[in-house]
Structure formats: structure tokens, C-alpha cells
Amino acid sequence: MLSCKPSLRRWGVKPVEQLRLHTSDLIHLWPELTLVIAAVALSLLDLALPERMNRTFIGWLTLASLLVSGVFVAMQLHLDVPVELLAGSYRVDDFANLLKLVFLLGTSFVVLMSVGTIKQAGIAHVGEYYYFLLPATLGAMVMASSADMITLYVGLELLSITSYIMVAMRKKSSNSNEGAFKYLVMGGISSAMILYGMSFLYGISGATNLAAVKDGIYANFTSFEALIYVAFFFLIAGLGFKIAAAPFHSWAPDVYEGAPTPISAFLAVVSKGAAFAILFRIIYNLFIPLPQDGPTGVLVSDVFLTLGVVAAMAMIVGNVIALRQTNAKRLLAYSGIANAGYLLVPLATQFSTAHYSNFAEFTFYLIAYLFMNIGAFAVIILIEKSSGSEEIRGFAGLYYRAPFTAVAMTLLVLSLAGIPITGGFFGKLFILLGTMETHHYWLGAIMLITSVISFYYYFGIVRQMYMRSDYESAPLQVPGTVGFTVWLCAIVTVLLGIFPHVLLQYIDTVFTITKDLLFVS
């Protein structure tokens, strides 16, 4: 019998016996296993229940499973040594744990704002709506922990396929059907581009493990320089779609408008954050460890220049086109495109001995973006429910119809615009200071200019709430779950602005770049 060990070593992985999971390994996979077990159990429960029975309690069970998974993740924080499973293709480290907590928190808010309001969204199969969020979140978590191109792609497709289905759940809405079709087609193209780029890297290095791929790039750079560039640009194009960064953003406005509003929030926060997890894993492990002098130094410089250009385009395109929007969900879609640019800046500036807090800056702003974005989408749910429209004019007179909700939305809008003292302001400030420390002055200037441009369309919402009256509308009824979501997001946003150092120092305490992100073959 022929042994498979030589070929496995050529692929950059360990012998086959080391690919097996042992019982002792399962304790590190409890966060993921919790979601798998809950998704299967809730799908069977949904099938067994009578068709006319209320499925709201499935939403509460979904929320409970997300919280339990979050507890298991929190128990694995502060790892002294990262845990490598499946021959190093799956890593449990504090980089992954921090992002997993963000994904679970974001999905929990999506479920919470859905309970009590999802029936008005025109979704026929409520049970499916809830438990499809579990495999989608699982895919995001797999992406955060993957150290191998195969596991990265598996997590990416698990998240993508379930997202396509959730966007299409308003079956009787033409906007939903159109958005889902565009998302499926464009998502399939982007996934193919990512896979094509990965196939080039595999062909060059003979490996799928990221650490081994890096070694292969260095060893074969002179022979395959052009193919390495082609692989990188394919990956940037595919992942640029996933984070909705210009010029790969055209799908986002239609998909956000057509999808159920909580799913739009999920795409804006969880799906976007998972794609950034892949970018950090790939960019920091394939290109940063390469020698900075010689031919590979030119490659590294070109990689980070490209990321900076994409970030600049996203900030400019997102903010400028948002000026013309009259639909609230489309406005937040273009706002999300601009924020994808802001989130790309810490990645594009590269870390050095003078500046190595890139991940802390990124994570701080991602968390602030989570709260202010989900809170804003929760208010849109209320506007959509009361006026039957997602237009910005639906905010008219909100202060007179629901004053507390209007105040909370004002705080969220101030944070989105980056006004002191809010989490959004300090998130942008930390990123801006990082660009100055690394001498990327042109990128910092674009951040400042586009942030000022964003004031116009953000304050258009405030103007509608306080300076436009709608006396024909009755007082706005706010369901308890949505009101709790809105105010919790608003309060946390303000607290992040008052005590930004607490979260930033905690991230720096937990995360170490050499231990949790960079790894060797």
C-alpha cells in the first residue's frame, strides 16, 4: 500500500494521523459545536411543530445558543499558547476569539431586534429565518480561526450560501428577489475569484497552509513573480466584494434594500467583519514576513499600496454617493462602503516597531461600528413598521412621535458621523493617528475630508427628526426588544466615547501580534 505521507508533506501539512481530531480537542471547538448542535436541533423542532404555531420562542432559543457559544469563546481568552487543530489548519487564538465575540454579539442583536417584529417583514418561514443565522455565524467563526486556504474557503462559503438564502426570505417582495439574485450572482463570481487566486498560490507553493504558502512565495518568487501578483489581485477583488469596498461595491445598496432589515444589519457587521478576518490572516501571514529588501520588498510595498488605494476609493465613493440617497437602507449601505474604507486603513498602513496597534485600532472601530450600525438599523425597523416605507422622510417628526427613540438615534448618528464624544469619533481618531505615525499622510487627508462630507447626509436624518413635523402620524409604538436594542447600542456608543482607553487597553492586553496572528511553518 502506498503511503500518503510524502504528498501530505509536499502540501505543507502534517502526516494524516495528525489531521484527526481527538476527544481532548473538542473542548476548544465547543463554541462552534454549540452552534452546529443548536442549528440541527432547532431545524428538527421547527419541522415537528404545527404550521400555525408561533415560532417566536425559536428566536429566543437561537439567542440563547449564541450567548452560550459566546461564553465558551470568552473562557478561551488569554491563551498562553494558541491551540492548533487539524494539523495547524484551524487555530484557536486570541485574534480569532476577539473577532468571534464580535460576530456572536452582532448576531445576538440581530436576533433580538427580530423578535416581535419579524412577522411584519413579510417572512413566511420564521423558524428558518432564526436558525439560518446560526450556520452563517459559524461560517464567520471558521473564517476567523482558519490558517489554511481550504478551511478559509469552507467558512467563506458557509457564510455566503446561508446569507444568500436569508436575503431572499421575503419571497413576495420584488426588491428582495432582485437583491438576492444579484447577491447570488455577484457572490458566486467573487468566490470564484478568491478560489482562483488561491489556486495560483497553491500552484506556486505546493501548499494550502498559509505559513507554508509564504515560504513557497519566498522560495519561488523570481520564477513566479507575475503569477504572485495575479493571485494577490484576484484575492483583493474577491474579498473586496465581501467587505463591500469600492470598486467592488455595486451589489450592496440593492441587497441591503431588498433584504429583511435585520439581515441587512447582519451583512453590514458580521459578514463584513468575517471578510476582514480573512484579509488579516492572508495579508499578515503571506506578505509581512517576507524580506523588505530585494524583489520581495517591492511586492510587499505594492500589496499595501493597493490596499491603501482600495481604502481611499471606498471612503470617497461611499460618502459621495450617499449624499444623493433618499432611502435609509441604501444610505446605510453606502455608509457601510465608506466604513469598509476606514476599516481597511489599519490593514493598509502595515505595522512597524513605531506603530504596532493596527489590530487594536481596527477592532475598536469594528466594535463601535457594530453598535452604531445595528442601533440605526433597529430604528429603521420602527420607521418601516409605522410608515410602511424605508425612505428618510419617514423619520419626519420622530422626536414628537417617539422622543426617546429620536434621542437614541441622534446619538447613533453622531457616532456614525464621528462627532465627539462618541465611539465612532475615537475609532476614526485612533485610525487617523496610526496613519500619521506611519507617514501615510495622503490616506489620513482622505479620511478627514470624507468624514466631513458624511456630516451632510447623516445630519439630514437629524434634521428630519427635529425640524420636520408629521402631525398626521400617531405616536410610534416601540416593541420592547427593539427599544432595548436601540438604547443599549446608543449607551454603549457613548460609553466607548467617554472611556475609549478601557476597550483599547483590553484589546492590547489580550492580543499579541506575534503570538495570535503571525505563525511559522
pLDDT tens sequence across 61-76: 999 999 999 999 999 9
Containing 70, the helix (H) or strand (E) segment is: helix 56-74
Q: Could you read off the pLDDT of 355-412 as tens digits, one per residue?
A: 678 888 999 999 999 999 999 999 999 888 877 778 888 888 888 888 899 999 999 9
With H, G, I as helix, E, B as strand and everything else as coil, classify residue 91.
strand
Per-domain residue ranges of the chain: 16-516
How many angstroms separate the CA atoms of 107 and 94, rounded? 20
CA angle, 118 as apex, 112 and 122 as ends, to 5°?
160
Over range 95-107, report the average pLDDT.
Answer: 95
Residue 490 has what pLDDT?
95
pLDDT band at 473 (very low <50, low <70, confident <90, very high): low
Residue 158 has what pLDDT?
94
Residue 220 or 143, more confident:
143
Checking if the pLDDT of 475 tops 80, the result is no
Over range 453-468, report the average pLDDT.
Answer: 89
Q: What is the DSSP letter of 267?
A: I
With H, G, I as helix, E, B as strand and everything else as coil, classify residue 139.
helix
Q: What Rg value do the Cα atoms of the chain yield, rounded?
A: 23
pLDDT band at 105 (very low <50, low <70, confident <90, very high): very high
Cβ contact 146:286 at 8 Å? no
> What is the pTM assigned to this prediction?
0.92
Grid coordinates belonging to 10: 509536499
Residue 398 has what pLDDT?
85
Checking if the pLDDT of 136 tops 80, the result is yes
Residue 60 has what pLDDT?
92
CA atoms lying within 13 Å on the CB side of residue 426: 20
Cβ contact 55:64 at 8 Å? no
Residue 132 has what pLDDT?
92
How many angstroms separate the CA atoms of 433 and 438, rounded? 9
The pLDDT > 70 percentage for the chain reads 92
How many angstroms separate the CA atoms of 499 and 361, rounded? 15
pLDDT band at 22 (very low <50, low <70, confident <90, very high): low
Q: Could you read off the pLDDT of 486-505 as tens digits, one per residue?
A: 999 999 999 999 999 999 99
Checking if the pLDDT of 10 tops 60, the result is no
Lowest mean pLDDT among 22-36, 128-142, 258-272: 22-36
Strands of 197-340, DSSP E: none
How many angstroms separate the CA atoms of 255 and 263, rounded? 10
The residues with which 209 forms a beta bridge, in sequence order, are 148
Checking if the pLDDT of 4 tops 60, the result is no
18-24, Cβ contacts within 8 angstroms, sequence gap of 24 or more: 18/87, 19/86, 19/87, 21/85, 21/86
Phi-psi region of 485 (alpha: psi -120 to 50; beta: other; left: phi over 0): alpha
The residues with which 90 forms a beta bridge, in sequence order, are 85, 146
**How many helices and strands in the chain, by DSSP H and E?**
22, 2
Residue 520 has what pLDDT?
60
The closest alpha carbon to 264, from 377, 165, 178, 370, belongs to 377
Checking if the pLDDT of 97 tops 80, the result is yes
Cβ contact 209:147 at 8 Å? yes
Residue 4 or 384, more confident:
384
Q: Could you read off the pLDDT of 274-315 as tens digits, one per residue?
A: 999 999 999 888 888 777 777 788 888 888 999 999 999 999
Checking if the pLDDT of 271 tops 90, the result is yes
Residue 33 has what pLDDT?
94
With H, G, I as helix, E, B as strand and everything else as coil, classify residue 84.
strand
How many angstroms separate the CA atoms of 49 and 218, rounded? 57
The count of other CB atoms within 10 Å of the CB of residue 155 is 23
How many angstroms separate the CA atoms of 101 and 107, rounded? 10
Cβ contact 515:82 at 8 Å? yes
Residue 300 or 121, more confident:
300
Grid coordinates belonging to 123: 417572512
Cβ contact 247:317 at 8 Å? yes
Residue 354 has what pLDDT?
60
Cβ contact 178:488 at 8 Å? no
Report H helices in 146-224: 149-167, 174-205, 210-219
Checking if the pLDDT of 7 tops 50, the result is no
pLDDT band at 19 (very low <50, low <70, confident <90, very high): low
Q: Could you read off the pLDDT of 24-58 as tens digits, one per residue?
A: 678 888 999 999 999 999 999 988 888 777 778 88
Residue 470 has what pLDDT?
61
Grid coordinates belonging to 466: 427635529
Hey, which of 87-91, 466-470, 499-503 has the most confident mean pLDDT? 499-503
With H, G, I as helix, E, B as strand and everything else as coil, classify residue 49.
coil
Residue 355 has what pLDDT?
66
Cβ contact 322:461 at 8 Å? no
Grid coordinates belonging to 40: 440541527
Checking if the pLDDT of 245 tops 80, the result is yes
Checking if the pLDDT of 133 tops 90, the result is yes
Grid coordinates belonging to 283: 495579508
Residue 13 has what pLDDT?
46
